[in-house]
Amino acid sequence: MRQKRFGLTVFLVLYLMSSIVFAEGVSETMQQQAAQQSQSANNEQALEVAALADVIAALNQTAENWTLLVDTAAKETIVTYYVHEFQQQGIGILKPAAYYVNVIDGMSQQSPDVFKHPFSQVLQIVAVIEYDFNNGQNPDDMAYQILGSKEAVMQNRQRLGM
């Protein structure tokens, strides 16, 4: 009977030791996989940042590339980037990026010639017309410069419920 217990004890000890070694091996493998996934995610993020920088460089030349973008989240990121750039100049744009994405997308259908300008100018034009370009100047005067007539400014104000 003692021999059976001893054999069972040895078996359990060996089993537990092999389980610990196996668990350590699995743990190491899982850690390696996690490290690889993290590195892969970092590489993807770096590529996204590089791609975003390329898109912004192109949009700094002409906004025509805006119409080629289909990812709404990417467009919102781009608008947010330019809003931040305006903030660095002391200009406030308060409406959400998603709002500007919708307005600018609609504008691409109605006024495609505007997109020959750099994207920052397109965003500025839209923000001025939306009375959301807060640079200390009179918003009606800025809207007049873009719209060209007092009647157009009044219609724009009505559209905005002002």
Q: Do both 28 and 92 map to the same domain?
A: no
Q: Are residues 48 and 12 in the same domain?
A: yes
What is the total count of domains within the chain? 2
Domain that holds residue 25: 1-61
For residue 142, the model assigns a pLDDT of 94
**153 & 75 share domain:** yes
The one-digit pLDDT tens for each residue of the chain (162 residues) are 444 444 444 444 444 444 444 444 444 555 565 555 555 444 444 445 557 788 889 899 999 989 888 889 999 999 999 999 999 999 999 999 999 999 999 988 888 888 999 999 999 999 999 999 999 999 999 999 999 999 999 999 999 999
The reply to whether 92 and 136 lie within a common domain is yes
Other Cβ atoms less than 10 A from the Cβ of 55: the count is 20
> Is 0.75 topped by the overall pTM?
no
For residues 47 and 103, membership in a common domain is answered with: no
Q: Are residues 129 and 54 in the same domain?
A: no
